[in-house]
Structure 1
Amino acid sequence: MPTTPLPAVLPGLGDTDYARYMHTDTLLSLQKGPGDWVHPDELLFQVVHQSSELWLKLTRSHLSRALAHLNADQPSAAELLLRRAADALHLVTEHLRILRSLPPKDFAVIRTALGNGSGFESPGWRLFRSATTELDIAFARLLSSLRLTPADLYRGQPSDPLYRLAEALVELDERIALWRTEHYSVATRVIGHGVLGTRHTPVDSLIKLIAHRRFPTLWEARTELTETYSRSACPGRVPS
C-alpha cells in the first residue's frame, strides 16, 4: 500500500531527505538535455563516463586509506581497501560494455560534440595513477625494512598478511589491464582500427598500454620464481 512520505528534515534542496542527502537534483542535471544533444545516445555516453569518474573517485579514496594503513603497518586493513578498489575497477570496466552497442555511424556524430576531449584527460585516472605509484613505493619500502624481496615473500605462506597484501596489489593491477583491454576492444569496435582518437593519437596505441604494470616487481617475482624452480628441476639444462 502507498505510504505518506515523511517530511524532510535534512538541510538542502529537494522534497525528500533522499534527494537532499544524495543531491539528486544537482546530480541529474549534470547531463546534457534533449535540446542540446547532437544524438540521443549522448546521454548514454555521458552517463557511462560520469559514473566511471564517481567510481574512480571512490577508488582513489580507498587507495589513499590503504596507503595510510600500509604506512601504519596494518596490512590486513590495507588489503580490504585494495580489494574494494579492485571491485570498483571491475564495475568501471563493466560500464564500458554497454558502449559496444553504439552503431559506428551514431558515435561518429557524437564525436563531433567532444571537441578535443579524451579519456586520457580523466581526472579520476590521473589521480589513480598517482595513488598506485605511492602504493608501489610504500610497499617496496616496507619489504626493504624487513629485508625481504618480492620473491622472498612469495616463497612464504599465502596466509601471511603481507603475502595477501601483495596479491591484492596484483589483483588491482590485473583489473587495470582488463579495463585497458576492454577500452581498446570497445574503441576499435565502435570507431575501427588505424584511426585517430580525439587527441589525434592512433587508437591502436591503446594496445601498448595493456602490458604496462603499476606494481612491476610483484610480476617480476613470478618470473624469478619460475626460472629458479625450472633450473632446480633441470639442473643439467644448458641455457639457450
Structure 2
Amino acid sequence: MANTDYEKYLNTETLMSLQKSPDKLVCHDEMQFQIVHQVAELWMKLYLHEVEQIKAWISESRFVEAHVLFTRCGQISQLLSEQLRLLNTMSPNEYHKVRTQLGKGSGQESPGFNTILGAAPTLWEPFKKQLEKNRVTVEELHDNPTRHPELFLIAEDLFGLDEQFLNFRYLHLQLVKRIIGGDVPSLKGVHAEKYLMRGLANQFFPELWAVRNEISRRRGIPIGAKSGLCPYPHGEKN
C-alpha cells in the first residue's frame, strides 16, 4: 500500500506492478525491454497531449505558447531516440528470447506511435488557415521571414517536429537491423526493413519539405538524385 503522498499521487504501486517480476522474466534483459517500451508509450501520450494544445494555440494565434510546446515535443522525440539506444545493449540472442513472449505483437501495434501518425499531420490545417488569413504562402515566408516572423517560426517548428520524429523512426530502423537483421520478417510477417523504410518516406508536412526543393530550384540547382546536394558518394560505383 502506498505510504506517502508522492506514492499516492504517482500511483507508484500500480506503476511498478506493470512489469514482470524477476522470477517470471524469460531472461535478464526482458525487464529492460518492457520498461523501455512502457516508458515510450508514456512519452508518446505526453507528445499527443501537447499536439492537441499546439493545434488550439495556432488556431488562436498564440504562437509563442505554441512554440514552447513545439520545443517540448522536440525534446520528447529526442528522449524517445535516446531510449532506443538502451536496447542496443541487448544482444540478438537475448532479444530472441524476449521475442518468444510477444506472440504476434510488434511495434507496429504501438497505440501511441500510431496515434501520433494520425494526429501530428492535423497541425497543418490550423497553420494553413493562418497562412490564408495573412495572405501569405510558405514560400513567401521563406523569402521574407521578417514580414511574418511568428508564422515563419511556426513553419520552422512544424518542420522540426516532422524532422525529429523521422529521426526517431530512422534510429528504430537501425535498431531493428542491428538486433534481428534487415531481411527477417516481423512478427506480423512483413519484411522488417522494407516496411520501416516506407515509413521514412511519409512526412507529416510534405509542403514544408517541398518548399526546400523549390528554393533550390529557383537558385538553379537541379532537383533529383544527382542534384549534388551532398558531396559524399554514398557507395556509388564509378
* TM-score after normalising by structure 2: 0.88
For residue 103 of structure 1, the aligned residue among 91, 102, 105 is: 91
**SS class of match (2:88):** helix
Amino acid corresponding to residue 110 of structure 1 in structure 2: V
Q: Report the equivalent of 1:4.
A: none
Q: Report the equivalent of 2:174.
A: 185
Q: Which runs of 5+ in 1 are unaligned?
A: 1-12, 232-240
Q: Report the equivalent of 1:207.
A: 197
Rounded to whole Å, the distance in 1 between the matches of 2:154 and 2:171 is: 26
Aligned: 1:176 with 2:169: no
Aligned: 1:132 with 2:120: yes
For residue 31 of structure 1, the aligned residue among 19, 30, 36 is: 19
Q: Which runs of 5+ in 2 are unaligned?
A: 222-238
Q: Report the equivalent of 1:225.
A: 215
Larger Rg over CA atoms? 1
Q: Report the equivalent of 2:35.
A: 47
**SS class of match (1:32):** coil
Rounded to whole Å, the distance in 2 between the matches of 1:212 and 1:126 is: 13
Deviation string 1:15-56 (CA, Å, 9 cap, x unpaired) is 111111111111111011123222221110010000011111
Q: CA RMSD in A?
A: 1.5
Rounded to whole Å, the distance in 2 between the matches of 1:89 and 1:35 is: 33
Rounded to whole Å, the distance in 1 between the matches of 2:120 and 2:129 is: 14
Rounded to whole Å, the distance in 2 between the matches of 1:108 and 1:29 is: 24
| 1:157 CA drift (Å) | 2.1
| 1:121 CA drift (Å) | 1.1
Runs of 4+, deviation exceeding 6 Å:
none
**SS class of match (1:217):** helix
Deviation string 1:106-150 (CA, Å, 9 cap, x unpaired) is 111110000111111111112212221210222122212322221
Matched residues, percent identical? Answer: 34
Aligned: 1:120 with 2:108: yes
Rounded to whole Å, the distance in 1 between the matches of 2:153 and 2:72 is: 14
**SS class of match (1:54):** helix
Q: Report the equivalent of 1:6.
A: none
Amino acid corresponding to residue 64 of structure 2 in structure 1: S
Amino acid corresponding to residue 205 of structure 2 in structure 1: F
| 1:78 CA drift (Å) | 1.0
Deviation string 1:62-84 (CA, Å, 9 cap, x unpaired) is 11000011111112211111111
